[in-house]
Structure 1
Amino acid sequence: MRTRRIAALLGAGLLTAAAQLACSPPATAAPAPQDVREQLERIPGMTVVSAAEREGSPYYTLSYRQPVDHADPAQGTFAQRLTLWHKVADGPTVLYTGGYVLDSGPTQLTRLLGANQVSVEHRYFGQSRPTGAARDDWSRLTVWQEASDEHRLTRALRSIERGRWLGTGVSKGGMTATYHERYYPDDLDAVVAFVAPNDADHRGDSGYERFFATVGTARCRAALNAVQREMLLRRAALLPRFADDAATTGARFEQTLGTADRAYEFAVLDQVWNFWQSGDAADCTGVPDARAASDDALYTWSKAHGLRLYRDQTLGEHGTGPYYRQAATQLGWADLAFAHLRDVRRHQDLYQPNSLLPAAMRGSYDPTAIADVDRWVRTRGERMMFVYGQNDPWSAEQFTPSRHDSHRFVAPGANHTASLASLPAGRRGQAVATIKRWAAVKD
């Protein structure tokens, strides 16, 4: 069973939602900043990079030595970046990862609970990468390795943050918190994951197909599909505009998508997904009549509503490439059929994460780890909460919590920014009360 003194990683760092849900922090005084710093410096492998103050409490930027391979520590170490916002030693602590580079903004759970916050950069993202030959060995970028990073870090900080620990994250960060809980269930007292996809086996992506067949109204879906189709039918007229946009920004495609034509088709395929991820059903009123719209009107509207420029500079090892590596090898992806576009596509194998990776980062998909996590969450997970958005494509395939004090909430009409504040009042009250109980925080 999970150790109750250890807490987890909660929170979706949506400051607006956090403000709506904020409560007064515990009254216990925090130790003097110098005392905390001395404790940090005594942790083997921990370096205090800088110390500052945030809202009257000490805030530390840290570096922690982690094994490149937790199964074989002799393979060397790397420095993982993190921050600690320390308020009170006996209060709750939120362990947060955005799943990508370091994000130290206050999470909504930190605000809700008046909690300490530990923010962690995911291995192989940003500056948290090995040096030497290990730097380009992407086989060490796995969900178990990152869970093991957070396990070591959690245990190292227990002597300083002695209250409940709550794990949290948004999207890929929520997935990361869930994986940590699966592999090390004694670390955290609870996990709250926001809009965390659960593609347990991308070969069975009926959930995503069902989402795009039912989201919004039939009229809106038909209009969006027509725009998407027209963008490919008018490729000869619109591709030069796309190429000009790429040239203006210095975008290149040689290392990943290969050509402007392939990059354009990928952007069009992803357009409706992006529309729902960031948009709202109210945006449906502005979808143009695809056949009647001019080339300029069609392209201009698409750029403002989901057409994205995927380029080498933001897809390689220094950008979002590590995420696509994980998607290609473990996390999975939405393998959509695009039946309405079948006769106007040129590149039938394009819509998959390896298309967005340099050759050295590509990999083969193995569903074993994620399928195992899915089963464990459904049958054995304890004190886990999942919050999803009804109109969010990333929420189309969800984690199913067990009956062991675990919960799932879906925010009506919400997109990929779904939060506690997005929930109807009654459901929001239930979620907040549960989180406070898990954190041992009283109103």
Structure 2
Amino acid sequence: MRRLLTVLSTVLISAAALVGVAGAAGDRDIKAELAKVPGLTVVSEDPAPAGFRFFELTLTQPADHRNPHGPSFEQRFTLLHRDFSAPTVAFTSGYNVSTAPNRSEPTKIVDGNQLSMEYRYFTPSRPEPADWSRQLTIWQAAADEHAAVQAFKRIYPGKWLATGGSKGGMTATYFRRFFPGDVDGTIPYVAPNDVIDPLDRYNDFLAHVGDPACRASLKAIQRDALKRRDELGELAKADAAKNGYTFSIVGSVDKSLEISVIDSYFAFWQYQPASACASVPKPGAPAAAVWSWFEQVESLNTYSDQQLEPYIPYYYQAAVQLGSPEAYDSYLRDLLRYPGADAPATFVPASVKLPRFDYLAMPDVDFWVKTQGKQLLFVYGSNDPWGAEPFELGFGSKDSYRYFVPGGNHGSNIAQLPATQAAEATATIRRWAGLPAQPPPTARAFAGFPGFPGFDADPLTAERPRL
């Protein structure tokens, strides 16, 4: 009991200290400071842990940054404010912004503020009328982040970091490539780097990842599912009817099922731990059990209109700039009704026209990382298929690092690295933020917020379709 009281006392003292720090900048009030930022609107102030304030915001952005006085749109942001003098982390998932006050791992490491950005074209952050080919490019998104960081530096003049996971990690890298002076360090997590789209290393990776027996069992259940597609298709139709799913984008529930079965192998290694190999059903297992397993790994209705719609901007970018893995399906070819359909263009509505693929965009970023990249720290998982084509450091990369979590998947982070590497990476991030290698004891004691659900949930690890 005495020990419990001592711990609680320490936490309360630490909380009080942080509350004091948050108000240490004279009489400045964060809400009043936000009101001074041109084009910024405070939509709401939401509950946050003691010592923090959390806001939902919109910022007026040009629909086309090459024409700053032309049409504009409102882009969603959130701000987790701790202290005007603390480091600030610019975070994006590359998708919609979360309206929960979560902290990314770098934000926890530096105990800083966090400005989180919704990627343009993820609703409601979409210009109207939409001009996909002009407005939805990696440069336009980088310019969004640049404008936001510059606007918020009026409030937070200290050190800045940029981070994101998966597509967000790619976004953080592109932001740094186009605006290298905006931040003092960039920490991309599990960020793919599909340099030359037709040259694909993903399938070679997938052919050798994990245990041979596990790979064999995954392929066996895929083949079994396609052989029983009529039986499983009835379950898919029933599920679609229950949830109101339609399939106008891909064409049919059967086509969605086939693509989902193909993707399930990739998705398994992307998100499941190696221990999940034991749960793979055997061929001939009851249809309900097979359906249930796919629901955990890759829903057989993944490509319904309703599940695709929020992610169309991603599939569009994959089809025109980012690139994507070739379908890993050679061992299924004799069972396929729609060969070649598992490609990003399939998941973009016909109403959205796809321009010619930009074969220069990714090589440009890759070349910059290798020749001019500075203060970059990449984290990957050794079992994550998206790490098959990672960013690579080169002769011109300065003060930059790359780590692989042994056995890690698409949720890999610094805390999962071997202890020595985790300490190195943490010290590097804190150095970039202008902090000592180790946080003071009070900050360590205040690292978590029991009783405030979600606060320490890292948005980098949020599950997303494919990327």
TM-score, shorter chain, exceeding 0.5: yes
By how many angstroms is 1:307 displaced? 3.5
By how many angstroms is 1:367 displaced? 2.5
Per-residue CA distance 1:155-210 (angstroms, 9 max, x = gap): 111121011100001111111111100000010100001111111222111x2112
Equivalent position amino acid for 2:218 in 1: L
What is the match of residue 62 of structure 1?
A: 57
Aligned residues: 415
By how many angstroms is 1:362 displaced? 4.6
408 and 33 in structure 1: CA distance in 2 versus 1, 3 angstrom threshold = farther
Task: Determine the C-alpha separation between the residues in 2 that align with 1:25 and 1:273.
Answer: 44
What is the match of residue 399 of structure 1?
A: 391
What is the match of residue 360 of structure 1?
A: 351
Task: Determine the C-alpha separation between the residues in 2 that align with 1:408 and 1:336.
Answer: 27
Per-residue CA distance 1:78-111 (angstroms, 9 max, x = gap): 1111122222222210000111111252112111
**Contact 2:94/2:118 (<8 A) preserved:** yes
By how many angstroms is 1:26 displaced? 11
Counterpart pick for 2:155 among 147, 160, 178: 160
Equivalent position amino acid for 2:260 in 1: A
What is the match of residue 284 of structure 1?
A: 277
In the alignment, does 2:308 pair up with 1:315?
yes
Equivalent position amino acid for 1:181 in 2: R
Per-residue CA distance 1:385-411 (angstroms, 9 max, x = gap): 110111111222111134411011000
What is the match of residue 114 of structure 2?
A: 117
Task: Determine the C-alpha separation between the residues in 1 that align with 2:19 and 2:377.
Answer: 23
What is the match of residue 272 of structure 1?
A: 265
**Contact 2:253/2:304 (<8 A) preserved:** no
What is the match of residue 228 of structure 1?
A: 222
What is the match of residue 107 of structure 1?
A: 104
TM-score by length of 1: 0.88
Q: Secondary structure in 1 aligned to 2:205?
A: helix
In the alignment, does 2:402 pair up with 1:408?
yes
**Contact 2:194/2:362 (<8 A) preserved:** yes
What is the match of residue 81 of structure 1?
A: 76
Matches of residues 20-419 of structure 1 in structure 2 within 5 Å? 28-30=21-23, 31=25, 35-52=29-46, 54-55=48-49, 56-103=51-98, 104-131=101-128, 133=129, 135=130, 137-205=132-200, 207-254=201-248, 256-290=249-283, 292-309=284-301, 310-316=303-309, 319-363=310-354, 364-402=356-394, 403-419=397-413
Deviates more, 1:280-289 or 1:163-172: 280-289
By how many angstroms is 1:235 displaced? 2.1
By how many angstroms is 1:340 displaced? 0.4
What is the match of residue 11 of structure 1?
A: none
Task: Determine the C-alpha separation between the residues in 2 that align with 1:48 and 1:262.
Answer: 44
Per-residue CA distance 1:135-173 (angstroms, 9 max, x = gap): 354531111001001111111111210111000011111
Per-residue CA distance 1:50-72 (angstroms, 9 max, x = gap): 23552223333221111100112
Task: Determine the C-alpha separation between the residues in 2 that align with 1:344 and 1:169.
Answer: 38
Q: Secondary structure in 2 aligned to 1:202?
A: coil
By how many angstroms is 1:34 displaced? 5.6
Matches of residues 13-24 of structure 1 in structure 2 within 5 Å? none
Task: Determine the C-alpha separation between the residues in 2 that align with 1:361 and 1:181.
Answer: 29
Q: Secondary structure in 2 aligned to 1:387?
A: strand
Q: Secondary structure in 2 aligned to 1:50?
A: strand
**Contact 2:262/2:328 (<8 A) preserved:** no
Equivalent position amino acid for 1:42 in 2: K
Equivalent position amino acid for 1:143 in 2: I
**Contact 2:91/2:117 (<8 A) preserved:** yes
TM-score by length of 2: 0.84
Deviates more, 1:67-76 or 1:186-195: 67-76
